[in-house]
Amino acid sequence: MKNHFLYVAALAVTLFGTSCSSDDGGDSTPAEFVVAFQNPSLSFDTVDSEKQINLVFSTTAPEDGSVTISFTTENTEYDTDFTTEPAAASGQLTVDFTGGATGTAFTFNKLQDAIEGTTKAVNFTISAVSVADAKIQGNTQLAVSFTETAAPSGSVSPEVGGPNEDNQVYVDLSSLTQTSAKRDSWDLGFYSGSDFRVAINGSIYMAVAALESTDIDAVTEADVETLQPQVAVGTFDAANTVYVDDVTGSLDGTAIAAISETDADNPVYLVNLGFAVGTTEPEVGSEAVKGDARGWKKIRILRSGEDYILQYADLDATTHEEMTISKAAGHHFTFFSFDTEEVVDVQPQADRWDINFTVFTNEIEGFGSYGYADFITTNSLSGALAYPVETATIAYADFALADVDEASFEDDQRGIGSQWRNGGGPGTLPSLKNDVFFVLKDTDGNLYKIRFTALTNESGVRGYPAFEFELL
């Protein structure tokens, strides 16, 4: 009996002894604290006089500290041609940061422009970081040019605004600038070129349908009741693309027909105002771009010389408002908002942006219009076009000017589109595609390769894209 128990006890010990599993799981490598300039170059045009120079960290700063930056000059002199904030002394300045920060910055003030034909520059170098074991790596140097030059490389984090994707962000690569406008800040874009075309705001899923009537005051809600369910995005009706603008960006395909000189040829349009920017916080990794429905309007657009005349009213109104809208020289469109009943600023000048981060009304062939979050259009109206390259064909680092295939550029603003991310579906969230990059021809004809480095932030929250690019 005793022996049996001993036996059992011994067996139990050996058996359960094996159950202490190892879960150390290999070696962890704590993230290094690396400091670098966000971008290796900065250039001023004649308008700018002050710019912020960003320094970025690889991880949050472990403690309060400072970065020491030295500089050399080229035909410039501190205090005469430029100053910095914080101020520099004997070719060196110190920029402080606090523990937990993800970066820091200093200001560069340009005091005198370069005389045409001469080069004026300041070259900054990160020389020391106060944190122990910190590394200086990547963009360790920054060249500031006093004259406008295309950035040779850079990285940009467009401020799309998180999972509600509040903003349309216009990015100009050569000047490393971004301009943003709230998605629902405008409704109609009146083309400023020679044609008379009016675009609708696809980023809030607007849709319009031409009515029979040419009398805006005579149209009632009852007249359009049966039409309304069809005049929307995402109805899974292959024919519903007539209610939205041509997805390629071609102005010939706007949902509102070209505005005719003959008033009688300009019908009343039923306008679905789409959806306000969402305000809810979705599950991590999802988007909530769609807010409340913005309702309906009826509009009619006429021409008056080189101007547009916009008539608009609520569906059941028997009178209407009228507004004259002029073309804006240097811009693609003059934007109008029903909310403010005013002309609003949205896009930068026509040649001052290359790509636009936006929610977008796209088409899925056979299923009609379909709303896309995280979309990227190119400024195709000014000749900015892009095409994708798979890393399986050639690595991003190896891609050179000689590899550019001009024939691959299609006249379509969706050259990047949604191809930079994997689409989600039931049970899977969209994610960044790491096996593709893009070749982009900008509005000045410069050729870049661009690669997306983030779709979300580190925690997986949508609406925090980032990309890097290099001039070829």
Partner 1 sequence: MSLNKNRLFIYFSFFFSVGILAQEPASVEKDSMAMQNLNEVVVTGQINKQSVDKSVFEVKVIPRETLDRLAGNTLADVLNQSLNISIQPNPSSGKSSVELFGLDGQYFKILVDNIPLINDEGLGNNTDLTQINLDDIEQVEIVEGSMGVQYGSNAVSGIINIITRKDSDYQWEITPYVQEETIGNEYGFFDQGRHIQSLKVGHRFSDQWYVNGNVTHNDFTGHQNNREGEFHALNDGRRGYEWLPKLQYSGKGLVSYTGDNFRSFYRMEYFNEQVDRYDSVVRENFNPSTQTSNPTASDDIFTSRRFFNHLNVAGQLFQKVNYDISASYQQQKRDVEQFTYRINSREKFDVESQEYESRKGFYSRGTFSNFFTSEKTSLQLGYELSNINGYSSSAAIAFSGNNIARRLESYDAFATAEFALGERFSFRPGTRAMFSSQFKTQMAHSLSAKYAFHNGYQLRAVVGTSPRNPNFDELFTYFVDVNHDVQGNINLEPERGVSTFLHLKKNFFQKDLKWRLSSKISAWYLTVDDRIELTIVNETPLAFQYNNIDEYRNWGTSFTNKLVHGDFQFDLGLSLSGESKVLNSEDSFNDDYLYALQVSSNVGYQIPKINTTFSLFFKYNGPEYQFVLDPEQDDPTFMRSKREGYGWMDASIKKTFMEDKLQLTLGARNLLDITRINTSSVSGGGTHATANTGLLLGYGRSYFVKLLYNLKI
Nearer to partner 1, 134 or 219 (CB): 134
Nearer to partner 1, 80 or 459 (CB): 459
Q: Which residues, including other chains, have CB under 8 Å from residue 383's CB and lie 6 or more apart?
A: 441, 443, 445
* Residue choice 16, 47, 212, 407 for contact with partner 1 (CB under 8 A): 16
Nearer to partner 1, 153 or 382 (CB): 153
Q: Is 468 in the site for partner 1 (CB under 8 A)?
A: yes
Q: Is 319 in the site for partner 1 (CB under 8 A)?
A: no
Nearer to partner 1, 55 or 114 (CB): 55
Q: Is 431 in the site for partner 1 (CB under 8 A)?
A: yes
Nearer to partner 1, 328 or 373 (CB): 373
Q: Is 398 in the site for partner 1 (CB under 8 A)?
A: no
Q: Is 296 in the site for partner 1 (CB under 8 A)?
A: no
What is the x/- site pattern for partner 1, positions 161-200, by CB under 8 A? ----------------------------------------
> By C-alpha distance, which of 355, 390, 351, 361 is closest to 376?
355
> By C-alpha distance, which of 205, 150, 179 is closest to 379?
179
Q: Is 32 in the site for partner 1 (CB under 8 A)?
A: yes
What is the x/- site pattern for partner 1, positions 241-280, by CB under 8 A? ----------------------------------x----x
* Residue choice 64, 77, 195, 283 for contact with partner 1 (CB under 8 A): 283
Span near partner 1 by CB under 8 A; candidates 31-39, 72-80, 189-197, 248-256: 31-39
Beta strand 65-74 with 41-43 is unpaired
- Judged by CB under 8 A, the chain residues 354 through 383 that form the site for partner 1 are 364, 367, 370-371
* Residue choice 113, 260, 460, 471 for contact with partner 1 (CB under 8 A): 460
Distance CA 22, CA 254 (A): 64
Closest separation in Å from C-beta 430 to partner 1: 9
* Residue choice 56, 171, 276, 404 for contact with partner 1 (CB under 8 A): 56
Residue 165 has which token pair?
A: 């994707």
Q: Is 456 in the site for partner 1 (CB under 8 A)?
A: yes
Q: Is 238 helix (H, G, I), strand (E, B) or coil?
A: helix
Q: Is 404 helix (H, G, I), strand (E, B) or coil?
A: coil
Nearer to partner 1, 9 or 323 (CB): 9
Report which secondary-structure segment, H or E, holds 3. Answer: helix 2-17
Q: Is 133 in the site for partner 1 (CB under 8 A)?
A: no
Tell me if 395 sits within 8 A of 426, measured CB to CB. Answer: no
Nearer to partner 1, 309 or 466 (CB): 466
Q: Is 52 in the site for partner 1 (CB under 8 A)?
A: no
Beta bridge partners, 84, equal: 108
Q: Is 390 in the site for partner 1 (CB under 8 A)?
A: no
Q: Is 126 in the site for partner 1 (CB under 8 A)?
A: no
Q: Is 229 in the site for partner 1 (CB under 8 A)?
A: yes
* Residue choice 110, 290, 320, 449 for contact with partner 1 (CB under 8 A): 290
The DSSP letter of residue 203 is G
Residue 219 has which token pair?
A: 């149209």
Q: Which residues, including other chains, have CB under 8 Å from residue 101's CB and lie 6 or more apart?
A: 57, 60, 61
* Residue choice 18, 90, 194, 319 for contact with partner 1 (CB under 8 A): 18
Closest separation in Å from C-beta 367 to partner 1: 6
Q: Is 35 in the site for partner 1 (CB under 8 A)?
A: yes
Nearer to partner 1, 39 or 358 (CB): 39
Closest separation in Å from C-beta 31 to partner 1: 5
Closest separation in Å from C-beta 194 to partner 1: 34
Q: Is 22 in the site for partner 1 (CB under 8 A)?
A: yes
Q: Is 233 in the site for partner 1 (CB under 8 A)?
A: yes
* Residue choice 44, 57, 333, 448 for contact with partner 1 (CB under 8 A): 57
- Judged by CB under 8 A, the chain residues 137 through 166 that form the site for partner 1 are 137-139, 155
- Which amino acid appears at position 265 of this protein? D
How many residues make contact with partner 1 (CB under 8 A)? 73
Span near partner 1 by CB under 8 A; candidates 43-51, 77-85, 346-354, 421-429: 421-429
